[in-house]
């Protein structure tokens, strides 16, 4: 619905009139214009597909929501043409520090970008609405992307070769028949609900307060996390810098609280003042209380209705695996749906989205669940174990890797992907099939920028015959890119359109490359 | 060279930590305490070096 009260507006857009026909049609309908829906729309749009996006609100909301965007997400935004804007505006950071009690020196610290000399940092912090704006700018520049603001899905009927939606806007309702529907409509997904589908997994009994505030404050651009600080005794807290002098403060509140009361000014401000000083001058940006779940749908593909992002899976925010996990979904799905829409791949390729996105969600849920169990011990035994780790970590190196304040999002490996051709040659290091290509500087730019949107053969020394749909990129022998990929002269790597390695050879033959390419497009799938 | 190795000597810390937490699922506090004791005795036997064990005990007592 348009003009929903209570949601602050970042950018007004206004309701889109309903189409002139009461029975409209589209090839692909994306439900939800959040970061995941917009990233997918932009990816498909840039590939030349006509895309219709439906968004319930007729504005971009002014809530910080997701703020930590990982290197992998920046690589994806780069591919979509939105990376520079994000990095220019965002606060770049790599280091996280963990504090315990009142001590001013960290008991543990980590670097989110262990391999240096890559184009993008481990993370940037930036308000979600900026990312939405940059993706929206890209979408609006393309005539084949039709975003309908203030259009709500009221009913979903799944069909064998598509789905029909009933859509309501301020000036009427209409039917929309689509070949494919992608639901990117968030944790409370209407599409999921209307199809009677649900999540499986754990719900955690704890509440956290987000206080995004505007203030002048000097602190390095790092992620600071406290266990049992004097300003929130017995619980945890987090502090993170965003652009525009906005800071994210996050306080663990416990389970039995009055959630309604918790975001009232008189209840939030004591937390802020206890942390940062009684006389602190600040303005409220966004206050919110959340609890969380680590759950996912059993399957993300239901016929021609596909789920992505929070609509498909939920994690705790510790680890920044929510929005980054959703962008990984969009990245995985875009090229596959494009090939299927073009008739260049069989529909069964979409089933590999289900496999790979479920694998990603499972890794995110596993890490997020483990972090949560460390942050909020559920028994006396786990509390004692957690506190023993923190105690020992101050002095002893062996205890530090146990300290878990959130394992931050990195690219997930598709170890079991049916699209990968397993290694037949012997390799020392490099990037194995099912892993994303590691970035490296080239003579004039960066390796990942060379990959583009389609299949690429990275050949050490160049001069390889390639199939017509594959672009050859020659790598200088002994250069850093070739070294990171473990390539000796004559060796090569076949890279998927989402920058994942599909296959590699010490001495490839044209037949081997052709076979691996067909496999990566799902032509030889053997799905259980 | 200290008798007990206090440098990093494990991998996959998160999975081991999780296993250790799960071990206590459904136990009372007393049963948990007994479990810690059994686990310690089993590991002591496996280590099998008196000097190492005494050094470790001293470290653990200090916290």
**Are A68 and A324 spatial neighbours (Cβ–Cβ below 8 Å)?**
yes
Are A418 and A508 part of one and the same domain? yes
Write the CB contacts of A256 (distance below 8 Å, at least 6 apart in sequence): none
Q: Are A427 and A526 contained in the same domain?
A: yes
Q: Are strands A456-460 and A471-475 parallel, antiparallel or unpaired?
A: parallel
| Residues A424 and A508 placed together within one structural domain of the fold | yes
Say if A261 falls within a structural domain: no
Does residue A203 lie in a domain region?
no
- In order, the DSSP letters of A288-350 are EEE--EEEEES-SEETTEEE-GGGTEE--STTS-HHHHHHHHHHHHHHHHHHHHTTSS-TTHH
Q: Do A382 and B27 touch (CB under 8 A)?
A: no
In this structure, the answer to whether residues A391 and A451 fall within a common structural domain is no
Query: In Å, how far is B4's CA from the nearest CA of chain A?
Result: 11
Whether residues A493 and A445 fall in one domain: yes
B18 in any annotated domain = no
Residue span of the structural domain in which B41 resides: 27-62
Q: Domain check: are A493 and A422 in the same one? A: yes
Based on the number of CB atoms within 10 Å of its own CB, is B15 exposed (0-12), middle (13-18) or buried (19 or more)?
Answer: exposed
Could you say which of A388, A398, A402 has the minimum Cβ distance to residue B9? Answer: A398
Q: With both helix axes pointing from N to C terminus, report the angle between A71-79 and A35-46 in degrees, rounded to the nearest 10.
A: 40
Q: Is A505 inside any structural domain?
A: yes
Residue A453 lies in a domain: yes
Number of domains in chain A: 2
CA distance B26 to chain A (A): 9
Contact A381 B8 (CB under 8 A): no
- Please answer yes or no on whether A407 and B14 come within 8 Å at the CB atom: yes
How far is the alpha carbon of A331 from chain B, nearest alpha carbon, in Å? 28
Q: Return d(Cα A405, Cα A486) in angstroms, integer.
A: 33
Residue pLDDT tens, chain A, 528 long: 334 457 899 999 999 999 999 999 999 999 999 999 999 999 999 999 999 999 999 999 998 789 999 999 999 999 999 999 999 999 999 999 999 999 999 999 999 999 999 999 999 999 999 999 999 999 999 999 999 999 999 999 999 999 999 999 999 999 999 999 999 999 999 999 999 999 999 888 889 999 999 999 999 999 999 999 999 999 999 999 999 999 999 999 999 999 999 999 999 999 999 999 999 999 999 999 998 889 999 999 999 999 999 999 999 888 999 999 999 999 999 999 999 999 999 999 999 999 999 999 999 999 999 999 999 898 999 999 999 999 999 999 999 999 999 999 999 999 899 999 999 999 999 999 999 999 999 999 999 999 999 999 999 997 788 999 999 999 999 999 999 999 999 999 999 999 999 999 999 999 999 999 999 999 988 765
- CATH at residue A516: 3.40.30.120
Same domain, A393 and A479: no
* Closest in B8, B14, B63 to A370, CB measured: B14
Domain span holding position A512: 413-528
Q: Is A443 in the same domain as A509? A: yes
Q: CB of B6 within 8 Å of any CB in chain A?
A: yes
Count of domains for chain B? 1
In a domain, B14, yes or no: no
How do strand A51-55 and strand A492-495 relate by DSSP bridges? unpaired
Q: Is residue B47 part of a domain?
A: yes
Among candidate residues A381, A281, A373, A387, the one with its CA nearest the CA of residue A318: A373
In angstroms, what CA-CA distances link A26 with A180, A193, A322, A353? 8, 22, 29, 21
Distance from CA of A438 to the nearest CA of B (A): 22
Residues 24-63 of B with CB under 8 A from A: 24, 27, 29, 32, 35-36, 59, 63
- Same domain for A418 and A511, yes or no, is yes
Write down the ipTM of this complex.
Answer: 0.96
For tokens 């997904």, what's the residue? A189
The continuous run of DSSP H or E covering A21 comes out as none
Residue pair A25/A163 in contact by the 8 Å Cβ criterion:
no
């Amino acid at each position: 619905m348009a003009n929903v009260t209570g949601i602050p507006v970042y950018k007004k857009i206004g309701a889109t009139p309903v189409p002139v026909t009461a029975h409209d049609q589209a090839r692909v309908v994306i439900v939800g214009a959040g970061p995941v829906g917009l990233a997918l729309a932009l990816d498909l749009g840039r590939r030349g597909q006509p895309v219709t996006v439906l968004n319930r609100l007729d504005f971009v909301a002014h809530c910080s929501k997701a703020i930590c965007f990982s290197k992998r997400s920046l690589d994806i935004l780069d591919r979509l043409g939105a990376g520079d804007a994000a990095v220019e505006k965002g606060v770049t950071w790599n280091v996280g520090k963990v504090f315990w009690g009142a001590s001013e020196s960290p008991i543990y610290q980590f670097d989110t970008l262990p391999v240096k000399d890559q184009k993008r940092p481990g993370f940037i912090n930036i308000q979600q609405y900026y990312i939405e704006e940059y993706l929206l700018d890209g979408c609006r520049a393309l005539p084949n992307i039709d975003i309908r603001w203030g259009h709500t899905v009221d009913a979903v009927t799944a069909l064998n070769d598509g789905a029909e939606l009933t859509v309501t806007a301020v000036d009427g309702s209409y039917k929309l028949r689509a070949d494919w529907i992608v639901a990117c409509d968030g944790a409370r997904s209407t599409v999921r609900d209307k199809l009677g589908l649900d999540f499986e997994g754990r719900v955690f009994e704890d509440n956290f307060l987000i206080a995004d505030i505007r203030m002048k404050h000097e602190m390095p651009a790092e992620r600071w996390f406290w266990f049992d600080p004097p300003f929130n005794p017995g619980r945890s807290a987090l502090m993170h810098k965003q652009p525009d002098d906005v800071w994210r403060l996050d306080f663990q509140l416990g389970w039995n609280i009055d959630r309604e009361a918790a975001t009232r000014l008189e209840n939030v401000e004591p937390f802020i003042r206890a942390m940062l000083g009684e006389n602190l001058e600040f303005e409220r940006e966004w206050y919110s209380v959340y609890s969380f779940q680590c759950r996912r749908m059993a399957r993300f593909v239901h016929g021609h209705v596909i789920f992505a992002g929070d609509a498909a899976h939920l994690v705790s925010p510790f680890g920044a695996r929510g929005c980054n996990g959703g962008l990984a979904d969009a990245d995985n799905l875009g090229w596959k749906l494009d090939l299927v829409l073009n008739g260049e791949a069989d529909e069964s390729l979409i089933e590999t989205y289900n496999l790979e996105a479920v694998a990603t969600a499972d890794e995110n849920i596993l890490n997020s669940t483990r972090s949560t169990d460390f942050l909020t011990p559920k028994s006396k035994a786990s509390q004692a174990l957690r506190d023993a780790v923190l105690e020992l970590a101050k002095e002893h190196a062996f205890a530090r890797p146990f300290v878990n304040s959130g394992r931050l999002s990195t690219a997930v490996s598709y170890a079991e992907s049916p699209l990968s051709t397993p290694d037949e040659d012997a390799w020392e290091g490099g990037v194995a099939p099912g892993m994303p290509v590691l970035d490296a500087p080239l003579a004039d730019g960066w390796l990942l920028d060379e990959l583009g949107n389609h299949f690429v053969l990275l050949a050490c020394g160049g001069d390889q015959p390639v199939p017509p749909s594959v672009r050859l990129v020659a790598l200088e022998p002994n250069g850093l890119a070739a070294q990171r990929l473990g390539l000796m002269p004559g060796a090569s790597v076949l890279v998927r359109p989402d920058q994942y390695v599909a296959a590699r050879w010490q001495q490839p033959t044209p037949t081997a490359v052709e076979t691996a390419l067909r496999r990566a497009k799902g032509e030889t799938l053997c799905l259980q | 060279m200290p008798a007990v190795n206090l440098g990093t000597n494990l991998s996959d810390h998160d999975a081991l930590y999780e296993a250790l937490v799960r071990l206590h699922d459904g136990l009372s506090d007393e049963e948990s305490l007994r479990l810690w004791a059994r686990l310690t005795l089993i590991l002591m036997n496996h280590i099998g070096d008196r000097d190492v064990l005494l050094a470790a005990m001293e470290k653990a007592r200090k916290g």
